[in-house]
Amino acid sequence: MLEEQDELVVRLRSGDRHAFRQLVDALHPRLLRFVNRLCPPPSVAEEVVQDTWHVVIDRLHTFRGDSRLSTWIFQIATHRARTRAVREGRYAATLLESWDHADPGGDGGLSRFDSRGRWVAPPAGWPPDDPEASAMHQQALARISEVIDQLPEAQRAVVLLRDVEGLDTREVSTILGLSPANVRVLLHRGRHRVRSELEAVWTGRESC
Protein backbone atom coordinates (compact mmCIF):
# COMPACT_ATOMS: atom_id res chain seq x y z
CA MET A 1 0.00 0.00 0.00
CA LEU A 2 2.78 2.44 0.95
CA GLU A 3 4.73 1.51 -2.17
CA GLU A 4 1.65 2.22 -4.30
CA GLN A 5 1.19 5.57 -2.56
CA ASP A 6 4.85 6.48 -3.05
CA GLU A 7 4.54 5.64 -6.74
CA LEU A 8 1.39 7.74 -7.02
CA VAL A 9 3.04 10.72 -5.32
CA VAL A 10 6.00 10.48 -7.69
CA ARG A 11 3.65 10.43 -10.67
CA LEU A 12 1.68 13.39 -9.30
CA ARG A 13 4.82 15.43 -8.67
CA SER A 14 5.98 14.72 -12.20
CA GLY A 15 2.77 16.27 -13.55
CA ASP A 16 1.09 13.02 -14.58
CA ARG A 17 -2.43 14.19 -15.45
CA HIS A 18 -3.80 10.66 -15.60
CA ALA A 19 -2.64 10.02 -12.04
CA PHE A 20 -4.22 13.26 -10.87
CA ARG A 21 -7.50 12.40 -12.59
CA GLN A 22 -7.51 9.00 -10.89
CA LEU A 23 -6.96 10.68 -7.52
CA VAL A 24 -9.76 13.20 -8.13
CA ASP A 25 -12.17 10.52 -9.32
CA ALA A 26 -11.49 8.47 -6.18
CA LEU A 27 -11.63 11.24 -3.59
CA HIS A 28 -13.76 14.09 -4.97
CA PRO A 29 -17.18 12.53 -4.16
CA ARG A 30 -16.05 11.70 -0.61
CA LEU A 31 -14.60 15.17 -0.04
CA LEU A 32 -17.75 16.81 -1.39
CA ARG A 33 -20.00 14.66 0.80
CA PHE A 34 -17.95 15.46 3.90
CA VAL A 35 -17.51 19.19 3.28
CA ASN A 36 -21.17 19.63 2.36
CA ARG A 37 -22.11 18.39 5.85
CA LEU A 38 -19.68 20.84 7.44
CA CYS A 39 -20.07 23.81 5.14
CA PRO A 40 -23.42 23.88 3.32
CA PRO A 41 -24.95 24.80 0.88
CA PRO A 42 -23.73 22.48 -1.91
CA SER A 43 -22.49 25.38 -4.03
CA VAL A 44 -20.18 26.49 -1.21
CA ALA A 45 -19.03 22.93 -0.58
CA GLU A 46 -18.14 22.54 -4.25
CA GLU A 47 -16.09 25.75 -4.11
CA VAL A 48 -14.30 24.54 -0.99
CA VAL A 49 -13.44 21.19 -2.56
CA GLN A 50 -12.23 22.84 -5.77
CA ASP A 51 -10.08 25.12 -3.64
CA THR A 52 -8.79 22.03 -1.85
CA TRP A 53 -7.57 20.52 -5.11
CA HIS A 54 -5.77 23.76 -5.99
CA VAL A 55 -4.01 23.63 -2.63
CA VAL A 56 -3.12 19.97 -3.18
CA ILE A 57 -1.46 20.82 -6.48
CA ASP A 58 0.39 23.81 -5.01
CA ARG A 59 1.59 22.02 -1.88
CA LEU A 60 2.13 18.47 -3.07
CA HIS A 61 5.87 19.00 -2.67
CA THR A 62 5.31 19.45 1.09
CA PHE A 63 3.64 16.05 1.56
CA ARG A 64 6.07 14.00 3.67
CA GLY A 65 4.27 10.68 3.67
CA ASP A 66 3.67 10.66 7.43
CA SER A 67 0.04 9.77 6.74
CA ARG A 68 -1.97 8.44 3.84
CA LEU A 69 -2.29 10.87 0.96
CA SER A 70 -6.07 10.81 1.33
CA THR A 71 -5.74 11.76 5.02
CA TRP A 72 -3.55 14.72 4.09
CA ILE A 73 -6.09 15.85 1.49
CA PHE A 74 -8.99 15.53 3.94
CA GLN A 75 -6.97 17.62 6.37
CA ILE A 76 -6.62 20.36 3.76
CA ALA A 77 -10.34 20.18 2.95
CA THR A 78 -11.25 20.47 6.62
CA HIS A 79 -9.03 23.51 7.05
CA ARG A 80 -10.47 25.19 3.96
CA ALA A 81 -14.04 24.45 5.13
CA ARG A 82 -13.34 25.88 8.58
CA THR A 83 -11.71 28.97 7.10
CA ARG A 84 -14.68 29.55 4.79
CA ALA A 85 -17.21 29.02 7.58
CA VAL A 86 -15.41 31.32 10.00
CA ARG A 87 -15.08 34.00 7.33
CA GLU A 88 -18.82 33.85 6.70
CA GLY A 89 -19.65 33.85 10.41
CA ARG A 90 -21.21 30.39 10.42
CA TYR A 91 -19.06 28.88 13.16
CA ALA A 92 -20.06 29.78 16.67
CA ALA A 93 -17.31 27.45 17.86
CA THR A 94 -14.24 25.90 16.24
CA LEU A 95 -13.55 22.26 15.61
CA LEU A 96 -11.07 22.37 18.47
CA GLU A 97 -13.76 21.18 20.84
CA SER A 98 -12.31 19.39 23.89
CA TRP A 99 -13.58 17.24 26.73
CA ASP A 100 -14.45 20.39 28.71
CA HIS A 101 -16.72 21.58 25.91
CA ALA A 102 -18.45 18.26 25.37
CA ASP A 103 -21.88 17.49 26.74
CA PRO A 104 -21.78 17.14 30.54
CA GLY A 105 -23.19 14.36 32.65
CA GLY A 106 -22.61 10.66 33.22
CA ASP A 107 -20.26 8.76 30.94
CA GLY A 108 -21.56 10.35 27.77
CA GLY A 109 -23.18 7.09 26.79
CA LEU A 110 -19.87 5.20 26.64
CA SER A 111 -21.37 2.19 28.41
CA ARG A 112 -23.80 1.72 25.53
CA PHE A 113 -20.96 0.82 23.13
CA ASP A 114 -18.49 -2.07 23.09
CA SER A 115 -14.71 -1.77 22.81
CA ARG A 116 -14.98 -1.41 19.01
CA GLY A 117 -17.50 1.42 19.21
CA ARG A 118 -20.52 -0.68 18.21
CA TRP A 119 -23.90 -0.56 19.94
CA VAL A 120 -24.16 -3.19 22.64
CA ALA A 121 -27.86 -3.49 21.74
CA PRO A 122 -30.02 -1.77 19.07
CA PRO A 123 -31.84 1.42 20.09
CA ALA A 124 -35.14 0.87 21.85
CA GLY A 125 -37.92 0.53 19.30
CA TRP A 126 -35.52 -0.20 16.42
CA PRO A 127 -37.52 -1.87 13.62
CA PRO A 128 -36.97 -5.63 13.12
CA ASP A 129 -34.66 -6.82 10.37
CA ASP A 130 -37.19 -8.10 7.85
CA PRO A 131 -38.44 -6.98 4.41
CA GLU A 132 -41.60 -5.41 5.82
CA ALA A 133 -39.50 -3.09 7.92
CA SER A 134 -37.44 -1.73 4.99
CA ALA A 135 -39.42 1.52 4.85
CA MET A 136 -38.91 2.01 8.57
CA HIS A 137 -35.19 1.39 8.17
CA GLN A 138 -35.02 4.02 5.45
CA GLN A 139 -36.83 6.43 7.71
CA ALA A 140 -34.39 5.63 10.49
CA LEU A 141 -31.41 6.29 8.22
CA ALA A 142 -32.89 9.62 7.17
CA ARG A 143 -33.36 10.53 10.82
CA ILE A 144 -29.77 9.52 11.58
CA SER A 145 -28.58 11.90 8.85
CA GLU A 146 -30.66 14.72 10.29
CA VAL A 147 -29.34 14.17 13.81
CA ILE A 148 -25.72 14.06 12.61
CA ASP A 149 -26.23 17.41 10.89
CA GLN A 150 -27.48 18.85 14.19
CA LEU A 151 -24.45 17.72 16.23
CA PRO A 152 -21.91 20.29 17.48
CA GLU A 153 -19.23 20.93 14.86
CA ALA A 154 -16.52 18.75 16.41
CA GLN A 155 -18.83 15.81 17.10
CA ARG A 156 -20.29 16.07 13.61
CA ALA A 157 -16.88 16.09 11.95
CA VAL A 158 -15.67 13.10 13.96
CA VAL A 159 -18.83 11.06 13.35
CA LEU A 160 -18.76 11.82 9.63
CA LEU A 161 -15.10 10.89 9.26
CA ARG A 162 -15.35 7.71 11.35
CA ASP A 163 -18.81 6.38 10.58
CA VAL A 164 -19.51 7.76 7.12
CA GLU A 165 -16.05 7.89 5.54
CA GLY A 166 -14.73 4.90 7.49
CA LEU A 167 -11.45 6.46 8.60
CA ASP A 168 -9.68 5.20 11.71
CA THR A 169 -9.12 7.16 14.90
CA ARG A 170 -5.53 8.05 14.06
CA GLU A 171 -6.52 9.46 10.68
CA VAL A 172 -9.37 11.50 12.19
CA SER A 173 -6.98 12.79 14.83
CA THR A 174 -4.58 13.97 12.14
CA ILE A 175 -7.28 15.56 10.00
CA LEU A 176 -8.93 17.51 12.82
CA GLY A 177 -5.84 18.26 14.87
CA LEU A 178 -7.29 16.54 17.95
CA SER A 179 -5.79 13.95 20.27
CA PRO A 180 -6.90 10.33 19.73
CA ALA A 181 -8.47 10.38 23.20
CA ASN A 182 -10.48 13.48 22.33
CA VAL A 183 -11.58 11.92 19.05
CA ARG A 184 -12.85 8.85 20.90
CA VAL A 185 -14.78 10.97 23.42
CA LEU A 186 -16.37 13.09 20.70
CA LEU A 187 -17.24 9.98 18.68
CA HIS A 188 -18.94 8.25 21.60
CA ARG A 189 -20.86 11.39 22.54
CA GLY A 190 -21.99 11.92 18.97
CA ARG A 191 -23.07 8.31 18.61
CA HIS A 192 -24.86 8.49 21.95
CA ARG A 193 -26.85 11.52 20.82
CA VAL A 194 -27.80 9.83 17.56
CA ARG A 195 -28.95 6.73 19.40
CA SER A 196 -30.92 8.74 21.95
CA GLU A 197 -32.75 10.62 19.20
CA LEU A 198 -33.60 7.36 17.43
CA GLU A 199 -34.91 5.81 20.62
CA ALA A 200 -37.10 8.85 21.23
CA VAL A 201 -38.54 8.55 17.72
CA TRP A 202 -39.22 4.81 17.80
CA THR A 203 -40.49 4.51 21.35
CA GLY A 204 -42.69 7.55 20.81
CA ARG A 205 -44.17 5.91 17.72
CA GLU A 206 -44.86 2.69 19.59
CA SER A 207 -46.69 4.54 22.36
CA CYS A 208 -49.08 6.23 19.94
* Integer Cα distance of 140 and 144 in angstroms: 6
Stated pTM of the model? 0.74
For residue 170, the one-letter residue type is R
pLDDT for 159: 94
CATH for 2-87 (3.40.50.2300, 1.10.1280.10, 2.60.40.10, 1.10.1740.10): 1.10.1740.10
* Integer Cα distance of 17 and 126 in angstroms: 48
Q: Are 21 and 147 in contact (CB under 8 A)?
A: no
* Integer Cα distance of 82 and 39 in angstroms: 8
Task: Name residue 113's beta-bridge partners.
Answer: 119
Burial label for 172, CB within 10 Å (0-12, 13-18, 19+), is buried
For residue 154, the one-letter residue type is A
pLDDT for 122: 54
Q: In the CATH scheme, what architecture does the domain 99-206 have?
A: Orthogonal Bundle (1.10)
Could you read off the pLDDT of 102-156 as tens digits, one per residue?
A: 443 444 444 444 444 444 455 555 555 555 556 666 777 788 888 999 998 899 9
Arithmetic mean of pLDDT, 182-202: 87
Could you read off the pLDDT of 71-94 as tens digits, one per residue?
A: 999 999 999 998 887 777 655 444
Could you read off the pLDDT of 158-185 as tens digits, one per residue?
A: 999 999 999 999 999 999 999 999 999 9
The alpha-helical segments, DSSP class H, found in 17-114 are 17-38, 42-59, 69-87
The structural domains of the chain, with segments of one domain joined by +, span 2-87, 99-206
pLDDT reading at 98 higher than 70: no
Could you read off the pLDDT of 16-72 as tens digits, one per residue?
A: 999 999 999 999 999 999 999 887 788 899 999 999 999 999 999 999 988 999 999
Other CB atoms within 10 Å distance of the CB of residue 75: 17
